[in-house]
Structure formats: C-alpha cells, structure tokens
Chains A and B, each alone.
Chain A
Amino acid sequence: MPLKLERTPMREQDPVQRRRNFDEVALGYSPDEAIREAQRCIQCKHPFCVEGCPVHVQIPQFIKLITEGRFEDAAQKIKETNNLPAVCGRVCPQEEQCEARCVLNRKGQSVAIGRLERFAADYQMKKGIPDPERPIKIGKKVAVIGSGPAGLTAAADLAKLGYDVTVFESFHELGGVLVYGIPEFRLPKALVKQEIEFLKRLGVKFVTNVIVGNTLTIDDLFDDGYQAVFIGTGAGLPKFMDIPGESLNGVYSANEYLTRVNLMKAYLFPKADTPIKKAHKVAVVGGGNVAMDAARCALRLDADEVHIVYRRSEAEMPARAEEVHHAKEEGIIFDLLTNPIRIIGENGRVTGMECIKMELGEPDASGRRRPVPVKGSEFIMEVDAVIMALGTTPNPLIAATTHGLEIQPWGGIIADEATGATSRPGVYAGGDAVTGAATVILAMGAGKKAAAAIHEYLEGKK
C-alpha cells in the first residue's frame, strides 16, 4: 500500500457560519476517511505514540482495527485504557502528546490519532454502547467527590472492580469542566451525558447538589460507611488581576462567563432563565484554552468584536494550536504583548480598558521569556465587557473542613503522584485539585491510578 504523507483533513463548519452558532465546529471523519487515515499508520513495533499518551492507549492496535473496518472493536480497544474516548479525541492536546511522538511527525504529518479516536468512539455511540458486564459486588462503599474527568474515571474503574461507588457533585449537572467550562461547539454536552449514562449502567450512583465541606464532610462519609474517598474537585477558583475597575459591571471571571453560557445555557436566554449581557466589544485577558473558549463564546453571543489580550507572544500561548487557529479563522483579534493596567467605567459599567505594550526580556522561572512593560506605550481600548481568563486554583472548601489533609501553600491537595494517596489514610486525590489547572487526560490518568491504589488499600484491609 502506498504511504500517504498527507493527513486526511477533517471537515469543519465554515468559519463564517459557525462564528454565530453553538454547533460543533469539527464534524468528524466518515468511515472512508477514517480508514484512509488509519492506513497511514505504519504499525510501529515500538510505538512512541503510546508513550506520549498519559494513559497509554493501545494506539496501533485500535488503528489497525479501524483499517479492518472493525470500528466498534476499535472503540472497545481504546476503552481498555481510556473511559472517555469521545471526549479525549476532541479535547486532548494531541499535538503535544500522542501525535507529537508519532514517527510520521518527522516525515510530514503525524497520524491523526485524536481524530481516529473520536471517530471510533462516535461510531460506537451511534450504534449504541453495549451493556457493560455488571461486576460482582464486593460489598464495599467508596465515595468519589466531583464528577469531572478525574472523578468519573476513578468511579468507573472502581465500579468495574465491584465496589459500590457514589459520586457526589456540587452542581446540579454532572461532568465538571466538560459541562460547565468547555463549550458546546467544542464538546457537545449530549456526548458527556451518554458517557455518564454508561457509568450509571455500570452501577455508579450519582448525587448532585452535594457540596462536600458544606452539605457533608469527608468525616461524615467515613461515618456513613464509605471505606475510602477519592477527591476530584478540580481547580475552580478564579483569579482576578487586582487592577482598578475590576468590580465594574461587565467584568467577569472566565468561570462566570463560561458557566453562564455553557452550564446555564444563557445563549438560549430567555428560553433558559439565566441571563447574560449582550456586549459589543469584548476583551478576554489571557492566552490559554479558557481564554479561547471565552472569546469564541462571546463572538457567538453576537459581539461585534472580540479581542484576546495576552501579555506574552503567540509562541508562549498555552492554548492548543488548533484552538488558536480556529479562533483566528472566526475573526478573533489577537492583541499580543499587551497587558491591562486599569479598567475604566461610567455609571458603574465598563467602557474601556487601559493597556500597556510589553516586550520579551530574560527567561523567567517558567523558562518563558518574561514580558516587561514598554514605557510610555499605554493606550485605551474601548470595550464594554472584560473577561478575565488568568487561571484558576483549587477551592479551599474541602481542605478547610477535613482534618489531617495536607495542602500546598497555593491550595493544591498534596497527593502521591503514583497512587493519589493523601496525608490522610483512605483519602485519595487527583486531577486539577492536586496539580492545579491541567488537562482532561491527566485528570483521567490520576483517577485511574487512584482507583487502583484504593483497590489495593481496601484489599489489604480485608
């Protein structure tokens, strides 16, 4: 078979159209396209791609199944190591993980592993995911706190081992950042729902509206007969810049903006009851995935102009390359090497933002060149909404109400990297709650390790 160098492109909604709707941007492969792309994989004996995947998905194996047209088997193969392939195929930073290590990356373009993963998972979902084998119950209860990717993964693995697993979630909806943060046009919520349905079929119980730390504590959980607890509560606390004018109406944290839009469906207002203010000119401060998502949501809410304001240059931007590309295609304006110093308002509402130009100096602690202000380069941007996407930290609620749980000075829960074990026996933690804001797949990996460690711990306690 001739080696095809060209990566099979994936169809996308036209930027002109999609910038005004919340439908999914990337449309996925057809079976023919998937087979064509799968055939590009040369089935390495020592597949580096697998090393690049934090959960070691058996990449050549599942891709081979796709070349044979065995799409559902391919999905099952992925699921041996990754419970949420439809999600990861869409949002993993593949270009830094599996695809970065693919041998074809040198010759031209890597195999589109993420797209193939997505294809197999979507195909299986459309056919209907087969009922899982109901594990034999071993009569031990484990509590999982938080229903993001870390919690869902831990819950699934523990349920498969026969534990009675209950997931406690503070929101009214399950899925963590997958439902409240990442927008519909990048990750349709129906998909997340289906994945959660699957966990329900596995026997996992879900209780929403429970804020652990308030509604009940970890000690209460042990009193109620849970023998181990996994904390997967994410990093949900927003940061602000601490500059004048941040309390003006029209200044949002990205968390607030995205939660209003995604979780509360403010884009359907007034059909959905949660309001969002229509803005004409929006500035989003930050350069990560969160900033891209907020900017693209603002555009879809009919803003005339949306700016990304970032103090470093494009090379330092932490957002996925693909999402930066999508944002540009849709007409988002990038004001790089620019930093806000003050927000200006009239009658309590934002009317502008004063910024200063930056230039790159010496590398800082993060190894990236430190941006330094250019004297006298201040200017005023006229805007009527400012969204702060500056990163998040873990919520102190659980740490403050759990005896003997050690945390980092910045709020992260201290947990063993290999097992997720915390300073408190029987309490494990993983995902953003431990690492600070990271990625879906790392959170899932942490959930997986912790599930295995919890199993070992409870086996030992027999």
Chain B
Amino acid sequence: MYKILQKEKLAPSVYIMKVEAPLVARKAQPGQFIILRVYDMGERIPLTIADYDRDKGTITIVFQEVGKTTKLLAALEEGQYIQDFAGPLGKPSEFDGLKTVLAIGGGVGAAPLYPQVRRMHEMGIDVDVILGAKSKDYLILTEEIKPFCRNMYIATDDGSVGYHGFVSDVLKKLVEEDGQTYDRVIAIGPLIMMKVVSGMTKQYNIPTIVSMNPIMMDGTGMCGACRVKVGDEVKHACVDGPDFDGHLVDFDEAMRRQAFYRDEEGLALHTLEEGGQCQCH
C-alpha cells in the first residue's frame, strides 16, 4: 500500500498527487513512468513520473480523470492509500549532446515535460517551451516549468490566454517567422498533437522525440499490448520507450490501437456512475 501524502486539483479534472514510494523514488529518472492499481479489483494503468524526491522517498503524478480508474484515483484523499504502485518503468529520456531544444506539452503532457525541462536546464541546455490547453483554466504547471526554460509560449484553443490556436501554430511561427533553430523537438500530449507536430518537424528537418502512450498492462515487456510500429520495427513502448522518433512512429495505427477498448471503458465508467460512490472502501 502506498500512502497519498498530498493531493491538489490543478485544473478541472486534473490532479497532482505526491505518493510515498521510496523504492521508486530511489531510481526514478525523467521520462519514466509508474503503473498503479487503485484497489484489489482494479486495472493496472501507467502514469508518468512528474517529479520525484529521493530523500523524502516520494513520487509525484499528475493525471486527468478520463475513465473509471482515474476517477477512482481522484476520489482518494490525502492520507489514503493506493493498492499498488510499481516502477520506475521505461527508459529514461536522453539529452546528451543537445544545445537548444523546443519542448511542447499538450494538456496533461505538461506533467511529463516538467522533469525533463528541469533536467535539461541542469545540463545547461537552452529550452523553449510551448504549453497548450483547451483554455486558461486547463493550463497546468506553467509556474513550475518557467524557471527552467528560456522562453515560454502559451497556446489555448479558445484564446483565453496566450496565442489563440494550437501548439503547432506556435511551432510554425517560431521556426518559419522567427527563424528559430533547435537541435531537437520534444512533443508530449495527445497522439493527434504529436502526429501533427512530427509531420511539421519532419519538413523542418528537426529530430523529434515523442512520448507514446499505448494501452499497457504489465509494463515489463511481457504482454505485448503496448506494441508500437516505429519504422520497420515493432517496439514495446513499456521497455523500448516510451520515447520514440516521432518521424518514424505510425501514429494512425497507434490511434486505432488506443481506441480498442472504448466500448468496455464506457461500460466501466457507466457502472461506476450508476453505482454512485466508488466501491473500493
């Protein structure tokens, strides 16, 4: 059992939690994730490590309520426990040899970006950051990320703050109008956003790393649920990733695979809501 030490609402349906998990904290690196199970009949879901504190033995996660498991998780309060919490999983992100990077986060994608930007800052890399969200209320972690980046650009779908439009519009402006050059683009967010960004950076010839989020179960390479087509190869995102070359990923297939259990997920959510309160305590 893993104790929830802190919980806060960051935006509508988006929460940040600090969880006591000393073994995970001892080894966690930017780019890695954990897999948790809320209660004994729960499913295993992956969430990115948004922050870690080795001394205090804590891991921070940021998640959005989208279905049954994330709703059950959001219903837990400080002082309560998460049944299982395993990690760190996946390969740490690599930043060797980089000088200037553009990091793009869409929605909760800002959370995994945060420790990466901080690590790059520590390594002396100049990082520009674009954060995108539906509207002002949905922007997260801007203040946390700001101290570690050279420039921060904001884009909202409704224009309530920052640029009125998508992160890809800002990317276009930076590269095409301002003539900015980058050694690498890092894009983390919904598949469609990563696909669009990767399509553009391919034209600009900027190497691009995306963080894939396929359906996972064990997170150790043993089920194959998380397979992703990268170039001619089939990779397991949980052990070979989650970071991959955005110019090689087959996003259309990834989108189809991610949607496989839509009906069942809907049913699970429906039974939860019908049942009213969560049945786990």
Contact = CB atoms under 8 A, between A and B. Distances in A.
Interface of A: 170-172, 208-211, 214-216, 236-238, 240, 246-247, 249-250, 252-253, 255-256, 259-260, 264-265, 268-277, 347-348, 395, 397
Enumerate the 5 nearest inter-chain pairs by beta-carbon distance, A residue then B residue, closest first: A275-B264, A348-B256, A209-B86, A256-B223, A236-B222
Contact of A256 (B37, B89, B224, B268): B224
A264 B239 CA distance: 21
B23 A238 contact: no
Given A216-B23, A247-B234, A264 B43 contact: yes
Given A216-B26, A249-B257, A397 B83 contact: no
Contacts of A246: 234
A255 B220 CA distance: 12
Which among A171, A268, A275 has the highest number of chain B CB atoms within 10 Å?
Answer: A275
Contacts of A272: 41, 43
B75 interface: no
5 contacts: A238-B222, A247-B234, A249-B257, A255-B223, A347-B256
A8 to B, nearest CB: 39
A274 B260 contact: no
B116 interface: no
A313 B217 CA distance: 34
B24 interface: yes
Contacts of B190: none
Contact of A273 (B86, B87, B268): B268
Contact of B257 (A172, A210, A238, A247): A247
Contacts of B27: 214-216
Contacts of B69: 273
Given A170-B86, A270-B268, A277-B260, 8 more contacts: A211-B220, A216-B23, A255-B223, A260-B217, A264-B217, A348-B253, A348-B257, A395-B222
Contact of B88 (A214, A269, A273): A214
A136 B77 CA distance: 43
Nearest to B255: A348
Contacts, number: 112
B245 interface: no
B234 A274 contact: no
Contacts of A170: 86, 218, 220
Contact of A215 (B23, B44, B224, B257): B23
B157 interface: no
Which among A208, A209, A256, A273 has the highest number of chain B CB atoms within 10 Å?
Answer: A273
Interface in B117-157: none
Interface of B: 23-24, 26-27, 37, 41-44, 68-69, 83-89, 217-225, 227, 229, 234, 239, 253, 256-257, 260-261, 264-265, 267-268, 271
Nearest to B280: A273
A397 B220 contact: yes
B274 to A, nearest CB: 10
A208 B84 contact: yes
Interface of chain A, helix or strand or loop or mixed? loop
A73 to B, nearest CB: 37
Given A264-B44, A273-B42, A238 B224 contact: yes
Given A249-B257, A270-B267, A275-B268, A214 B87 contact: yes
Given A237-B221, A240-B224, A215 B43 contact: no
Contacts of B89: 211, 214
A238 B223 CA distance: 7
Nearest to B2: A209
B217 A215 contact: no
Contact of A247 (B43, B218, B229): B229
A249 B214 CA distance: 12
Contacts of A209: 84-86
A172 to B, nearest CB: 4
A236 B220 contact: yes
Given A247-B229, A255-B224, A269-B264, A211 B41 contact: no
Contacts of A270: 264, 267-268, 271
B217 A275 contact: no
A247 B253 contact: yes
A260 B224 CA distance: 12
A348 B219 CA distance: 23
A421 B56 CA distance: 38
A348 B23 CA distance: 40
A210 B221 contact: no
Contacts of A264: 43-44, 217
Nearest to B21: A209
B86 A215 contact: yes
B238 to A, nearest CB: 10
A168 B257 CA distance: 32
A244 to B, nearest CB: 12
A209 B84 CA distance: 7
B225 A256 contact: yes
B42 A249 contact: no
Nearest to B84: A172
A215 B52 CA distance: 14
A428 to B, nearest CB: 22
B138 to A, nearest CB: 26
A347 B255 CA distance: 12
Contacts of A171: 218
Contacts of B44: 172, 264, 274
